[in-house]
Amino acid sequence: MTLRNKRIVMGGEGGQGVQAAADILAQAVFEEGKEALYIPNFGIEQRGGVSLAFVQIGGEPIGSPKFKYAHLIVALSGRSLERLQGYMSEESIILYDSSLLAPPQVSDEVIGWQCYDTIAPEAFAERRLTDRRQSFPEIPRKVKYIFGLPASEMAQNKLHPRVANIIILGATARFTEIVQLESIKKALEERLANKIKRDPALKDLNYKALELGWEAAGRMIKIPVSTGKIFKR
């Protein structure tokens, strides 16, 4: 059975590692013998601009590098989520870093299910980033699900602040249901080969970050029918 292609768009501020995450995802899928296409879109991100990445993966031929709607929208900042609103549809899933973006406000207008990862709060006892969270932008249309993952806090308190994007990558990969975790690890190791050669500890650090994101997404996928805080808007 041919895997249906998934369209993913990722966004964040320059320096958050959005392009690296998207590139690794596409490479991992390609190495599995499936179809993969990654297109970066960024301007003056070094000066504080928004960085976007477009990825298509699956088992079917990719007809066009551009697409109208995304199955999965991944946002690491409020500005990037605002930029990605045009790619939303009623079948879209939003994954955002809830360390940096406050949860959307509950209202009577149906947008979708809001699901927040239920990682034990003691994991973040050392320091919280949530006091400085940006407001969640108003979503002008319905989406299927909204998932919040505190990737930056997980990275800062359990691993290293610089691997927040790798945690997001692990979660993104799990949500696609197309690529295997081991393939992501292999693609990541290839991309970071020179850095790992200089500092071998980076391999295990990034592997742990991938696993955290992968496992967190697995829990969130089950939330609508099992545990967690769910709000229907």
**Structural domain contains residue 72:** yes
**pLDDT, average across residues 117-135:** 49
**pLDDT, average across residues 152-179:** 95
pLDDT digits (tens, 9 = 90+) for 12-69: 988 899 999 999 999 999 999 999 999 998 665 455 688 999 999 999 999 888 899 9
- Per-residue pLDDT at 116 exceeds 50: no
**Structural domain contains residue 221:** yes
CATH number of the domain enclosing 34: 3.40.920.10
**Structural domain contains residue 92:** yes
Burial zone of 154 (CB within 10 Å; 0-12 exposed, 13-18 middle, 19+ buried): buried
What pLDDT is stored for residue 2 in this prediction? Answer: 65
Do 84 and 9 contact (CB within 8 A), yes or no? yes
**Structural domain contains residue 45:** yes
Q: Which domain holds residue 30?
A: 6-232
**Structural domain contains residue 1:** no
Please count the other Cβ atoms lying within 10 Å of the Cβ belonging to residue 34.
18
**Structural domain contains residue 132:** yes
**Structural domain contains residue 228:** yes
Helices vs. strands in the chain: H and E counts, helices first: 7, 8
pLDDT digits (tens, 9 = 90+) for 46-57: 556 889 999 999
Q: How many domains does the chain have?
A: 1
**Structural domain contains residue 204:** yes
